[in-house]
Structure formats: C-alpha cells, structure tokens
Amino acid sequence: MADARKIWVVNQFNQAKEITVATKKAPRIDIGIGDKDRATIAKGLSAFLADSYTLYLMTHNYHWNVTGPMFNTLHLMFMGQYTEQWNALDLIAERIRSLGHPAPGTYKEFVKLASIKEVEGVPKATDMIRNLVAAQEGTARTARKLFPVVDKANDQPTMDLLTQRLEVHEKTAWMLRSLLED
C-alpha cells in the first residue's frame, strides 16, 4: 500500500498485534481564504483565545475568593461572566480549527500568547473589579487588532465572531467600571 501505516491494536483478550491500515490525506482546505491569511488569522485568534482564557480564569478565581460588603452581588455577577466566557472559548478555538490550524490549549501556550497577566494573591473586591475592567478591555483590544487582516481576507465568520465578542467585552467592562463610580 502506497499510503499506509502500521498501528498496534489490542483485542478483548488483551492481545496486541500490529496491523497495516490504509491512510489518506485529508483534502486541502479551500474556503476562499489563502493559506497565508488563514495562518495570520489563526495566530491572531490564538492570542485572542489566550486572553479570553486568562480572563475566564481570573473571573472564576474572583468568583471563588471575593469577600466584603459586595460579596453576593459580585459572586453572582462573576459567575455569570465566567460562564459566558467559558462558552465563548469553544467558539474561538473552533474557528481556529476551521481555518486549519491547531488551537492552543495549554497553560504554557496561554501564558506565552496572552497580553493579560496573572494577578498574584487575592485582591480586595474593588481591586478585583479594576483588574477585570483592565482584562476585559485588553481582550477587546486583542480582538480589535485582528480586524484589518480579517477584513482584507474577506473572512466574514471571523468578523462576526470578533464583533460579537467585542460587544460582550465592552459592555462587561462598562458594567464593571460602573461599580467603581462614587
């Protein structure tokens, strides 16, 4: 067989044997976006995914650890935010995969790609809010940076995803910022 590889299989009696299986390469991606543009967009989306995951983790951490007079309000607000963020992570990762590239999925990759930095310790509730405002806005900036290349590549699904995510991040930053007003 020209396109074949050997693999090991184990039967129900725990006996292993080597077999040869035919392999075929998947067809080349032809969605109307060139290889170079898809790679550039995937790279940008990977940074956006890293920021989004870091923001998710920060929000979930604050949900667990918030204290003080605003506890109940913030605890519930943070839960709504991290739940929404968790659902968005899959959409971003799947868009990267749709473009034919692997999505980053390890802490090591996220730390390397993210513009948002981890916060040490457990801040006071108002500092949690400030940190989340900065992280929401940072994530929005990362998304916004992608628009020129996405527009040039005529990549409407990514534009749509970015537009939806920008709306969420900007609105959430506004709501959090409102809590800091006197």
For 91, residues 6+ apart whose C-beta sits below 8 A from its C-beta are: 161
CATH number of 35-179: 1.20.1260.10
For 2, residues 6+ apart whose C-beta sits below 8 A from its C-beta are: none
Mean pLDDT, residues 68-90 taken together:
96
- What tokens were used for 42? 């995937």
The DSSP code sequence of 69-138 is TTHHHHHHHHHHHHHHHHHHHHHHHHHHHHTTSPPP-SHHHHHHH-SSPPPPS---HHHHHHHHHHHHHH
Q: What is the mean pLDDT of the chain?
A: 93
Q: Each residue of 39-74: pLDDT tens digit?
A: 999 999 999 999 999 999 999 999 999 999 999 999
pTM, rounded to two decimals: 0.85
Q: Which of 84, 87, 90 is nearest to 105 (CA)?
A: 90
The Cα–Cα gap between 140 and 136 comes to 6
Q: Lowest-confidence range among 19-28, 47-56, 110-119, 134-143?
A: 19-28
Q: Which of 117, 112, 105, 100 is nearest to 158 (CA)?
A: 100
Q: Each residue of 150-171: pLDDT tens digit?
A: 999 999 999 999 999 999 999 9
Question: For tokens 């999505």, what's the residue?
Answer: 103
For Cα atoms 103, 110, 66, give the angle at the middle one, nearest 5 degrees: 125
Element (H, E) at 181: none
| End-to-end CA gap in the chain | 74
Whether residue 3 is predicted with pLDDT greater than 70 in this model: the reply is no
